[in-house]
Amino acid sequence: MPAMFDGVKLAAVATVLYIIVRCLNLKSPTAPPELTYQDTALNRFLLKSCSQLTKEYVPPLLWGKSGHLQTALYGKLGRVSSPHPSGIRKYLPMQDGATATFDLFEPLKDHQTGDDITMVICPGIGNHSEKHYIRTFVDYAQKDGYRCAVLNHLGALPNIELTSPRMFTYGCTWEFAAMVGYIKRTYLQTQLVVVGFSLGGNIVCKFLGENRVNQERVLCCVSVCQGYSALRAQETFLQWDQFRRFYNFLMADNMKKIILSHRHSLFGDGLLKKVDADLSRLYIATSLMQIDDNIMRKLHGHSSLKEYYEKESCVHYIHNVDVPLLLVNSADDPLVHDSLLAIPRTLAAKKPNVIFALTLHGGHLGFFEGDVLFPQPLTWMDKVIVGFANTMCQWEKQKPPCQSGLLTGSSCIEAKA
């Protein structure tokens, strides 16, 4: 009998270890990002000078290969040992009565090129300048000589009241445009590096593609972990693979809290009847699509959910972006379905100004680096954005007049260290 019990214990331990290895994806290899791009002089310079794009991304060994744990750690903690950069909050009145806000952080040293460079940053859904991952990135960029302007999504800051019956959406670019306009008017010599995280990536790419005038004085753009098409993404958010339906529920719950915190501004004085919104359906909503269909699309005057998602998505505008554009996604991002990645991959294969970088690991806005257990304060994401921006600044400073990044070929490769 004792021998039999020992065998059962051994089998139980083996089963637990197998589950741990599978869930933590411990057998998955580390690798450089898979890159899709065209062979141009600029792209060759970028890949030679921006080492983060060609070297292995190494997440923490014990948990960093799980997209869920990367995403959960980002969502719960944001970052490790998050700094507290000092900035000034700016308030911009909009034509419809709304008040856009953004935080402005001055550089902590001169940029290596000697030029005045401003990063205009758009955070993820319901986020703002006080989020840990934004603070960590801003502090890092400041120390590298960048001024940073961070948009606070309309309604996202808990201590700032709405001044009109409108809040942020997936693709409304009005507040971001107001912030960029302020920066251009105030700093006449500055050049811009445009950065968007998750939903913010959709907004910045849509902003640049809506009107080519928006690309004036823009050196480059970096988008991280966006989904490109809200219409296509909504179908995948109802699926249970990668627990996407569960994430949908969590994001819907957060969205409900933001909306209800501004219920008087959004629905007071008869506005609820005017927009035909049903608050009772908001209380019981379990998905972003239910909230968007019953509340958000009506607040913004769209006749259907399909129309709302179509007009909010950068997929219809991103092909108009002509400045150097780095699109970053992770293969294990539980929020962005693999089918959506055909959009940036196809775009990078067709347009010489686009590089699509797909990491094996990183989750959604995680990209933590480390040895075994503990992550480093700075992430691969922070380093690749600043590294790409630095390389673009160097290119603009030293490029020969004859070199304009003309197409000489195309390739989709897995870069080697």
What contacts 24+ positions apart, CB below 8 Å, involve 285-288?
285/252, 285/256, 286/248, 286/249, 286/252, 287/237, 287/238, 287/245, 287/248, 287/249, 287/252, 288/234, 288/237, 288/248, 288/251, 288/252, 288/255
d(Cα 345, Cα 339) in Å, to the nearest integer? 11
The separation between the first and the last C-alpha atoms of the chain, rounded to the nearest angstrom, is 55
Looking at residue 32, the DSSP 8-state letter turns out to be P
Looking at the chain, the number of H-run helices and the number of E-run strands are 16, 10
The answer to whether 68 is a known catalytic residue is no
**Residue 361: active-site member:** no
User: Among 190, 28, 69, which Cα is nearest to 118's?
Assistant: 190
Catalytic residue among 66, 129, 198, 229: 198
Q: In the annotation, is 198 catalytic?
A: yes
User: Catalytic pick from 68, 153, 337, 364?
Assistant: 364
| 152, 126 contact by CB (below 8 A) | no
In terms of phi and psi (left: phi > 0; alpha: psi -120 to 50; beta: otherwise), the region of 373 is alpha
- Which one of the listed residues 262, 333, 361, 382 is annotated catalytic? 333
Tokens of 399: 């490029």
- DSSP letter (8 states) at residue 57: B
Alpha carbons within 13 angstroms on the beta-carbon side of residue 191 total 19
Catalytically annotated residues: 198, 333, 364
